[in-house]
Amino acid sequence: MKLNKEEEKMLTGAYGESYKKAMEILVTMGEYSSAEKMVPISWADLTTFSGRWGGHGDSPDNDLYHYLRDFEELCLKENAKFKCPMTIVDVSKDEERNERMKKLGAKLVAPAGASSPHDLFPWPLFGQYASPGATNGTTFFNPILGVRANSEGPIGVHMAALTGRTPEYGYLLDENRLGKVLVEVKTELKNYIDWAVLGFYISRKLSAHYWDIPVLTGIDTLKVTSDDIMSFCASMNHPGSMGHFLIEGISPEAPTIEKAFGGKEPIEKFVVGPEEMKEIYDLYAPSGNKPDIVTVRFPLTVERLYEVLNLLEGKKIHQNVSFAVNLTVHARTVAERFGVRKKLEACGVLMGETQGQVLWNGEIIDPWVDSRRVGIKTMITDSLKDCNGARNQDIEVALLPSLEKIINTAINGKVEV
């Protein structure tokens, strides 16, 4: 790799061991990815997950956590500072880490949140390089904002934030941002769950070669909402790992199909119609078992907050069911300021403070980690990530196709098959 003088100084230890270590890791990644140079990033984000109350990979009893803590402490010892704006969405509530990160120059921008981009601010802009911590952030920034970012996880984010650089590879390069696979969408997409199912199908089909960028055509661009897109992004990252895609007429780099493909022919084409959508719904169809917990896990935006209220007002959640929802930071503020929270809680809705949390018998739990321990056997959700994430718990997790059906299940205490 060709490094500039500043990068060379970091690599040779002129600014201390912390910058040296960070640059060594970035150079290794760059050489491994055939990057020719480093580029400056305008923004990095660390979404800290689930910390002290147990949960995902970033908790204090995890090796990655220790690895990053040791690195953060080395930086502090040397009085190093992040060279680019670094934000933290504080899902973990880990005050020790927060203090360390603040001393390094990071800003806590959201008191809670989700890995979806609802709560990630400030967004980088078109053409800028960024290092998003949350996978869904990458999948939103590349295709929708035209930001250039790879999904690298917390180690890459830390090293990039400290040095202000990242190796130029993957989605940062022009040639890797062009479409390769044409996806003709020939089905009506009724809501954000349908969009998630569409993303799941495409992501699954391309999972073994995620770098072949799909270009979607056939979308009614006047009807799509930002919620639809974020739901689609969440699924594009799971089960596959599509960090970038293009939608004709929506993605800034795909005003036309010809531009999306850079004037070349697609290497592959496929259609997603009602049958393909059914294939995914069938994978996670409910069996008819009585649900223990019904959740809206894709975070409720303000728009859907009022939809839930409309569907629930004057009704009660069934006594044998926990109905738990996650809210975006914005939706939570609105819910509290305008009395929606009280109304929903009066109906029996349980509101988690942040992503991943569900209230169960007065305890904050993460269904992906705690279901077996607390006795949950059947879970109904709007989230395909839940369907896979809770798999290790050996419980039934079923997907329903609309908010209305999910809420009716919570009210009736049984699911219609």
Chain contacts with other proteins (rule: CB under 8 A): 25, 28-29, 31-34, 49-50, 54-59, 61-65, 67, 133-135, 150-156, 170, 203-204, 207-211, 237-241, 283, 368-369, 388-389, 391-392
d(Cα 185, Cα 195) in Å, to the nearest integer?
11
Comparison of 158 and 318: residue with beta carbon closer to other proteins: 158
Query: What is the closest distance, in whole angstroms, from the C-beta atom of residue 149 to other proteins in the complex?
Result: 11
Phi, psi of 295 (to 5 degrees): -135, 150
Whole-number Cα distances in Å, 92 to 58, 354, 357, 392: 8, 9, 11, 22
Whole-number Cα distances in Å, 382 to 65, 228, 273, 360, 404: 30, 13, 20, 18, 11
Q: What b/e string do you get for 144-162 counting C-beta neighbours within 10 Å, with b at 16 or more?
A: bbbbbbbbbebbbbbbbbb
Query: What is the closest distance, in whole angstroms, from the C-beta atom of residue 263 to other proteins in the complex?
Result: 24
Comparison of 107 and 209: residue with beta carbon closer to other proteins: 209
Query: What is the closest distance, in whole angstroms, from the C-beta atom of residue 241 to other proteins in the complex?
Result: 4
Query: What is the closest distance, in whole angstroms, from the C-beta atom of residue 31 to other proteins in the complex?
Result: 5
d(Cα 162, Cα 83) in Å, to the nearest integer?
5
Identify whether the C-beta of residue 181 lies closer than 8 Å to the C-beta of residue 266: yes
Query: What is the closest distance, in whole angstroms, from the C-beta atom of residue 258 to other proteins in the complex?
Result: 27
Alpha helices in 213-260 (DSSP H): 226-236, 257-260
Comparison of 85 and 167: residue with beta carbon closer to other proteins: 167
Comparison of 34 and 79: residue with beta carbon closer to other proteins: 34
Report, in angstroms and rounded to the nearest whole number, the Rg of the chain calculated over CA atoms. 22
Identify whether the C-beta of residue 187 lies closer than 8 Å to the C-beta of residue 274: yes
Comparison of 30 and 219: residue with beta carbon closer to other proteins: 30
Query: What is the closest distance, in whole angstroms, from the C-beta atom of residue 107 to other proteins in the complex?
Result: 21
Comparison of 22 and 329: residue with beta carbon closer to other proteins: 22
